[in-house]
Amino acid sequence: MSGEPYPFFKKAVGLACAMVLGMVAYTPSYALDKVRVGATVAPDLNAVAVCLAIDDGAFAKAGLGVDLSVFAQSNLKYDAMKAGSLDVDVGMGAINAAQLYSSGVPIVVLRGGTRAAIWAVIGLKNSTFTKPADFKGKKFAVISFSGTNYGVTYLAFKAEGVDFRKDVEVSALPPSAIVPALVKGEIAGATTFEPFLTNDLKTGAVKVLFRPGEIYEKKYHEPLLAVVVAAHKSFVTNHHEDAKKFMAVLNATRDSLGAHAEAAAVAFVKHMPQAKMTVPEAKELIVQNLSDGITSENTPAFIESVQHLYDRLLAAHQLKEPVRAADFYVML
Protein backbone atom coordinates (compact mmCIF):
# COMPACT_ATOMS: atom_id res chain seq x y z
CA MET A 1 0.00 0.00 0.00
CA SER A 2 1.20 3.54 -0.64
CA GLY A 3 2.07 6.07 2.03
CA GLU A 4 -1.19 7.90 1.31
CA PRO A 5 -3.85 5.38 2.36
CA TYR A 6 -7.48 5.93 1.50
CA PRO A 7 -7.03 9.18 -0.47
CA PHE A 8 -10.76 9.37 -1.26
CA PHE A 9 -11.60 9.02 2.44
CA LYS A 10 -9.17 11.80 3.38
CA LYS A 11 -10.67 14.11 0.78
CA ALA A 12 -14.15 13.35 2.06
CA VAL A 13 -13.10 14.04 5.65
CA GLY A 14 -11.46 17.28 4.58
CA LEU A 15 -14.56 18.37 2.74
CA ALA A 16 -16.74 17.51 5.73
CA CYS A 17 -14.47 19.49 8.07
CA ALA A 18 -14.61 22.49 5.78
CA MET A 19 -18.38 22.30 5.72
CA VAL A 20 -18.53 22.10 9.52
CA LEU A 21 -16.19 25.07 9.90
CA GLY A 22 -18.31 26.98 7.45
CA MET A 23 -21.43 26.20 9.45
CA VAL A 24 -19.74 27.34 12.66
CA ALA A 25 -18.71 30.64 11.09
CA TYR A 26 -22.17 31.16 9.60
CA THR A 27 -24.58 33.21 11.71
CA PRO A 28 -28.06 34.54 11.01
CA SER A 29 -26.55 38.04 10.75
CA TYR A 30 -24.86 37.05 7.51
CA ALA A 31 -27.95 35.34 6.21
CA LEU A 32 -30.13 38.38 6.79
CA ASP A 33 -29.40 41.29 4.46
CA LYS A 34 -32.01 43.60 5.93
CA VAL A 35 -34.40 43.68 8.85
CA ARG A 36 -37.70 44.59 7.22
CA VAL A 37 -39.34 47.09 9.54
CA GLY A 38 -42.81 48.56 9.26
CA ALA A 39 -44.10 51.73 10.93
CA THR A 40 -47.25 53.79 10.73
CA VAL A 41 -46.94 57.52 10.14
CA ALA A 42 -46.91 58.69 13.76
CA PRO A 43 -44.37 60.20 16.18
CA ASP A 44 -44.43 57.08 18.32
CA LEU A 45 -41.25 56.76 20.37
CA ASN A 46 -40.21 53.44 18.85
CA ALA A 47 -40.77 54.65 15.28
CA VAL A 48 -38.81 57.82 16.01
CA ALA A 49 -36.00 55.75 17.55
CA VAL A 50 -35.78 53.60 14.41
CA CYS A 51 -35.53 56.69 12.21
CA LEU A 52 -32.74 58.09 14.38
CA ALA A 53 -30.86 54.78 14.64
CA ILE A 54 -30.86 54.50 10.85
CA ASP A 55 -29.49 58.01 10.39
CA ASP A 56 -26.89 58.02 13.17
CA GLY A 57 -25.54 54.61 12.12
CA ALA A 58 -26.46 52.73 15.31
CA PHE A 59 -27.96 49.83 13.39
CA ALA A 60 -25.01 49.72 11.01
CA LYS A 61 -22.56 49.61 13.94
CA ALA A 62 -24.46 46.60 15.27
CA GLY A 63 -24.05 44.87 11.92
CA LEU A 64 -27.66 45.32 10.90
CA GLY A 65 -29.25 46.77 7.81
CA VAL A 66 -32.75 48.13 8.26
CA ASP A 67 -35.27 48.50 5.47
CA LEU A 68 -37.98 50.84 6.80
CA SER A 69 -41.41 50.84 5.17
CA VAL A 70 -43.75 53.64 6.22
CA PHE A 71 -47.51 53.09 6.01
CA ALA A 72 -50.16 55.80 5.99
CA GLN A 73 -52.79 53.15 6.75
CA SER A 74 -52.17 50.61 9.50
CA ASN A 75 -54.33 47.95 7.85
CA LEU A 76 -51.90 47.76 4.92
CA LYS A 77 -49.04 47.29 7.37
CA TYR A 78 -50.88 44.47 9.12
CA ASP A 79 -51.57 42.83 5.75
CA ALA A 80 -47.82 42.93 5.11
CA MET A 81 -47.18 41.27 8.47
CA LYS A 82 -49.74 38.58 7.68
CA ALA A 83 -48.02 37.92 4.37
CA GLY A 84 -44.63 37.58 6.08
CA SER A 85 -43.12 40.52 4.19
CA LEU A 86 -42.29 42.39 7.42
CA ASP A 87 -40.00 41.17 10.18
CA VAL A 88 -40.83 43.82 12.77
CA ASP A 89 -43.62 46.35 13.31
CA VAL A 90 -42.40 49.06 15.68
CA GLY A 91 -45.82 50.71 15.90
CA MET A 92 -48.36 47.91 16.09
CA GLY A 93 -51.53 48.69 17.99
CA ALA A 94 -51.73 46.61 21.15
CA ILE A 95 -55.31 45.80 20.25
CA ASN A 96 -54.33 44.84 16.72
CA ALA A 97 -51.61 42.57 18.10
CA ALA A 98 -54.21 40.61 20.03
CA GLN A 99 -56.53 40.51 17.03
CA LEU A 100 -53.79 39.25 14.72
CA TYR A 101 -52.54 36.67 17.19
CA SER A 102 -56.02 35.33 17.90
CA SER A 103 -56.66 35.01 14.15
CA GLY A 104 -53.62 32.78 13.75
CA VAL A 105 -50.99 35.25 12.54
CA PRO A 106 -47.65 34.09 14.04
CA ILE A 107 -46.50 37.20 15.90
CA VAL A 108 -44.79 37.90 19.20
CA VAL A 109 -44.73 41.17 21.13
CA LEU A 110 -41.22 42.17 22.15
CA ARG A 111 -42.03 45.22 24.27
CA GLY A 112 -44.63 47.86 24.98
CA GLY A 113 -44.44 51.17 23.21
CA THR A 114 -46.60 54.02 24.43
CA ARG A 115 -49.79 54.73 26.32
CA ALA A 116 -52.84 56.03 24.49
CA ALA A 117 -51.84 59.65 25.01
CA ILE A 118 -51.57 60.44 21.29
CA TRP A 119 -55.31 59.74 20.89
CA ALA A 120 -57.72 62.58 21.62
CA VAL A 121 -61.41 63.35 21.25
CA ILE A 122 -61.83 66.63 19.41
CA GLY A 123 -64.77 68.94 18.74
CA LEU A 124 -65.42 72.40 17.44
CA LYS A 125 -63.69 75.31 19.13
CA ASN A 126 -66.97 76.42 20.73
CA SER A 127 -68.01 72.94 21.89
CA THR A 128 -69.07 72.66 25.53
CA PHE A 129 -68.56 68.88 25.63
CA THR A 130 -65.97 67.71 28.15
CA LYS A 131 -66.79 64.06 28.86
CA PRO A 132 -68.14 60.88 27.22
CA ALA A 133 -71.65 61.33 28.66
CA ASP A 134 -72.03 64.54 26.63
CA PHE A 135 -72.09 62.44 23.46
CA LYS A 136 -75.14 60.33 24.35
CA GLY A 137 -77.43 60.39 21.31
CA LYS A 138 -74.90 62.44 19.31
CA LYS A 139 -73.01 61.65 16.13
CA PHE A 140 -69.39 60.68 16.59
CA ALA A 141 -66.59 59.55 14.26
CA VAL A 142 -63.71 57.12 14.63
CA ILE A 143 -61.00 56.27 12.11
CA SER A 144 -62.23 52.69 11.84
CA PHE A 145 -64.46 50.21 13.64
CA SER A 146 -61.52 48.10 14.75
CA GLY A 147 -58.12 48.59 16.28
CA THR A 148 -56.76 51.09 18.78
CA ASN A 149 -58.73 54.16 17.69
CA TYR A 150 -62.07 52.47 18.30
CA GLY A 151 -60.86 50.43 21.26
CA VAL A 152 -59.51 53.32 23.35
CA THR A 153 -62.70 55.28 22.68
CA TYR A 154 -64.99 52.40 23.63
CA LEU A 155 -63.09 51.69 26.84
CA ALA A 156 -62.99 55.35 27.89
CA PHE A 157 -66.73 55.73 27.32
CA LYS A 158 -67.43 52.47 29.16
CA ALA A 159 -65.31 53.63 32.10
CA GLU A 160 -67.81 56.45 32.57
CA GLY A 161 -70.90 54.33 32.07
CA VAL A 162 -71.57 55.08 28.39
CA ASP A 163 -72.11 52.21 25.94
CA PHE A 164 -70.32 53.49 22.85
CA ARG A 165 -72.10 51.04 20.55
CA LYS A 166 -75.63 51.75 21.79
CA ASP A 167 -75.64 55.25 23.27
CA VAL A 168 -73.70 57.04 20.52
CA GLU A 169 -74.25 57.26 16.74
CA VAL A 170 -70.83 56.15 15.52
CA SER A 171 -69.48 56.32 11.96
CA ALA A 172 -66.04 55.83 10.43
CA LEU A 173 -64.18 58.65 8.68
CA PRO A 174 -60.61 58.99 7.41
CA PRO A 175 -58.48 61.49 9.39
CA SER A 176 -58.61 64.07 6.59
CA ALA A 177 -62.42 64.16 6.67
CA ILE A 178 -62.87 64.73 10.39
CA VAL A 179 -62.44 68.52 10.61
CA PRO A 180 -64.68 69.19 7.56
CA ALA A 181 -67.37 66.94 9.09
CA LEU A 182 -67.15 68.82 12.40
CA VAL A 183 -67.35 72.20 10.69
CA LYS A 184 -70.41 71.11 8.68
CA GLY A 185 -72.12 69.84 11.82
CA GLU A 186 -72.24 66.26 10.54
CA ILE A 187 -70.62 65.00 13.75
CA ALA A 188 -70.25 66.43 17.25
CA GLY A 189 -66.89 64.85 17.99
CA ALA A 190 -64.27 62.39 16.83
CA THR A 191 -61.29 60.42 18.03
CA THR A 192 -58.07 61.12 16.17
CA PHE A 193 -54.36 60.77 16.87
CA GLU A 194 -50.95 62.22 16.11
CA PRO A 195 -49.74 63.47 13.71
CA PHE A 196 -53.25 64.23 12.43
CA LEU A 197 -54.22 65.84 15.73
CA THR A 198 -51.55 68.52 15.48
CA ASN A 199 -52.56 69.34 11.91
CA ASP A 200 -56.25 69.46 12.90
CA LEU A 201 -55.52 71.90 15.72
CA LYS A 202 -53.59 74.12 13.32
CA THR A 203 -56.84 74.88 11.50
CA GLY A 204 -58.07 76.80 14.51
CA ALA A 205 -61.52 75.27 14.06
CA VAL A 206 -61.24 72.49 16.65
CA LYS A 207 -59.92 71.75 20.11
CA VAL A 208 -59.19 68.75 22.33
CA LEU A 209 -62.21 67.90 24.48
CA PHE A 210 -60.64 65.05 26.44
CA ARG A 211 -58.19 62.17 26.08
CA PRO A 212 -59.54 58.61 26.28
CA GLY A 213 -56.33 57.21 27.73
CA GLU A 214 -56.50 59.52 30.74
CA ILE A 215 -60.07 58.45 31.50
CA TYR A 216 -59.10 54.77 31.30
CA GLU A 217 -56.08 55.16 33.58
CA LYS A 218 -58.08 57.16 36.12
CA LYS A 219 -60.70 54.40 36.24
CA TYR A 220 -58.51 51.28 36.24
CA HIS A 221 -55.17 52.62 37.55
CA GLU A 222 -53.37 50.87 34.69
CA PRO A 223 -51.91 52.25 31.48
CA LEU A 224 -54.02 51.93 28.36
CA LEU A 225 -51.34 50.28 26.26
CA ALA A 226 -51.72 51.66 22.76
CA VAL A 227 -48.66 50.68 20.75
CA VAL A 228 -46.20 47.78 20.94
CA VAL A 229 -43.17 46.43 19.10
CA ALA A 230 -44.17 43.16 17.47
CA ALA A 231 -42.26 40.73 15.28
CA HIS A 232 -43.10 37.89 12.97
CA LYS A 233 -42.35 34.73 14.90
CA SER A 234 -40.26 33.30 12.06
CA PHE A 235 -37.90 36.27 12.30
CA VAL A 236 -37.32 35.76 16.02
CA THR A 237 -36.95 31.99 15.59
CA ASN A 238 -34.69 31.95 12.53
CA HIS A 239 -32.70 35.12 13.26
CA HIS A 240 -32.71 35.25 17.02
CA GLU A 241 -29.40 37.05 17.39
CA ASP A 242 -30.41 39.66 14.83
CA ALA A 243 -33.67 40.18 16.71
CA LYS A 244 -31.74 40.71 19.94
CA LYS A 245 -29.38 43.18 18.26
CA PHE A 246 -32.27 45.07 16.73
CA MET A 247 -34.04 45.43 20.05
CA ALA A 248 -30.83 46.40 21.86
CA VAL A 249 -30.27 49.26 19.40
CA LEU A 250 -33.93 50.27 19.49
CA ASN A 251 -34.03 50.34 23.30
CA ALA A 252 -30.75 52.25 23.64
CA THR A 253 -31.77 54.81 21.02
CA ARG A 254 -35.21 55.26 22.53
CA ASP A 255 -33.67 55.81 25.98
CA SER A 256 -31.51 58.59 24.50
CA LEU A 257 -34.29 60.48 22.71
CA GLY A 258 -34.52 63.12 25.43
CA ALA A 259 -30.89 64.08 24.88
CA HIS A 260 -31.14 63.90 21.09
CA ALA A 261 -34.61 65.28 20.44
CA GLU A 262 -33.44 67.64 17.70
CA ALA A 263 -31.65 64.92 15.73
CA ALA A 264 -34.58 62.58 16.29
CA ALA A 265 -36.99 65.18 14.93
CA VAL A 266 -34.84 65.69 11.85
CA ALA A 267 -34.73 61.93 11.25
CA PHE A 268 -38.49 61.58 11.76
CA VAL A 269 -39.34 64.36 9.30
CA LYS A 270 -36.92 62.86 6.77
CA HIS A 271 -38.25 59.30 6.94
CA MET A 272 -41.92 60.20 7.44
CA PRO A 273 -42.66 63.18 5.21
CA GLN A 274 -46.27 61.98 5.11
CA ALA A 275 -46.66 63.45 8.62
CA LYS A 276 -46.36 66.94 7.08
CA MET A 277 -44.61 68.24 10.17
CA THR A 278 -41.78 70.70 10.62
CA VAL A 279 -38.73 69.76 12.68
CA PRO A 280 -39.79 72.04 15.58
CA GLU A 281 -43.28 70.50 15.60
CA ALA A 282 -41.87 66.99 15.55
CA LYS A 283 -39.41 67.83 18.32
CA GLU A 284 -42.18 69.23 20.51
CA LEU A 285 -44.24 66.04 20.11
CA ILE A 286 -41.27 63.77 20.73
CA VAL A 287 -40.42 65.55 23.98
CA GLN A 288 -44.10 65.55 24.96
CA ASN A 289 -44.42 61.82 24.28
CA LEU A 290 -41.39 60.86 26.37
CA SER A 291 -43.47 60.80 29.55
CA ASP A 292 -46.03 58.51 27.91
CA GLY A 293 -43.59 55.79 26.95
CA ILE A 294 -43.95 52.31 28.44
CA THR A 295 -40.65 51.69 30.21
CA SER A 296 -41.39 48.22 31.54
CA GLU A 297 -40.19 45.13 29.74
CA ASN A 298 -42.52 42.16 29.39
CA THR A 299 -42.45 41.37 33.08
CA PRO A 300 -45.18 39.26 34.69
CA ALA A 301 -46.70 42.38 36.29
CA PHE A 302 -46.79 44.24 32.99
CA ILE A 303 -48.25 41.27 31.14
CA GLU A 304 -50.95 41.03 33.81
CA SER A 305 -51.99 44.64 33.12
CA VAL A 306 -52.08 43.83 29.40
CA GLN A 307 -54.27 40.83 30.16
CA HIS A 308 -56.73 43.08 31.98
CA LEU A 309 -56.87 45.29 28.88
CA TYR A 310 -57.55 42.31 26.63
CA ASP A 311 -60.26 41.02 28.95
CA ARG A 312 -61.98 44.40 28.71
CA LEU A 313 -61.59 44.39 24.94
CA LEU A 314 -63.29 41.01 24.77
CA ALA A 315 -66.28 42.57 26.49
CA ALA A 316 -66.05 45.42 23.96
CA HIS A 317 -66.31 42.90 21.11
CA GLN A 318 -62.93 44.01 19.79
CA LEU A 319 -61.70 40.46 20.32
CA LYS A 320 -63.70 37.50 19.09
CA GLU A 321 -62.29 35.11 21.66
CA PRO A 322 -60.22 35.26 24.86
CA VAL A 323 -56.52 35.99 24.35
CA ARG A 324 -53.71 35.14 26.77
CA ALA A 325 -51.10 37.89 26.66
CA ALA A 326 -48.54 35.58 28.27
CA ASP A 327 -48.68 33.33 25.20
CA PHE A 328 -47.20 35.90 22.84
CA TYR A 329 -45.58 38.66 24.95
CA VAL A 330 -41.98 37.45 25.15
CA MET A 331 -38.53 38.39 26.37
CA LEU A 332 -35.61 37.86 23.99
DSSP 60-75: HHTT--EEEEEESSHH
CATH class in words for 118-220: alpha beta
- Say which residues have a Cβ less than 8 Å from residue 254's Cβ, sequence separation at least 6: 45, 46, 48, 49, 293
* CB-CB contact of 93 with 280 (8 Å): no
pLDDT, position 250: 97
Half-sphere exposure of 283 (CA within 13 A, CB side): 9
pLDDT, position 318: 74
Binned at pLDDT 50, 70 and 90, residue 317 comes out as confident
pLDDT, position 292: 83
pLDDT, position 32: 55
pLDDT cut 70: percent of the chain above it: 90
Binned at pLDDT 50, 70 and 90, residue 18 comes out as very low
pLDDT, position 222: 86
Average pLDDT in the chain: 88
Rounded Cα distance, 71 and 91, in Å: 10
DSSP conformational letter for 36: E
Half-sphere exposure of 100 (CA within 13 A, CB side): 30
Binned at pLDDT 50, 70 and 90, residue 320 comes out as confident
Rounded Cα distance, 264 and 267, in Å: 5
pLDDT, position 289: 86
Q: Which CATH number fits domain 28-115+224-327: 3.40.190.10, 3.90.1150.10, 3.20.20.370, 3.20.20.450?
A: 3.40.190.10
Q: Is 219 helix (H, G, I), strand (E, B) or coil?
A: helix
Mean pLDDT, range 166-172, rounded to an integer: 95
Q: Where in the chain is the domain with CATH 3.40.190.10?
A: 28-115+224-327, 118-220
pLDDT tens digits, one per residue of 213-235: 999 999 998 888 989 999 999 99
pLDDT, position 26: 33
pLDDT, position 315: 80
109 strand-pairing partners: 230, 329
- Helices in 68-107 by DSSP H: which ranges? 74-82, 94-102
- CA proximity to 140, closest of 180, 181, 196: 181
pLDDT, position 75: 85
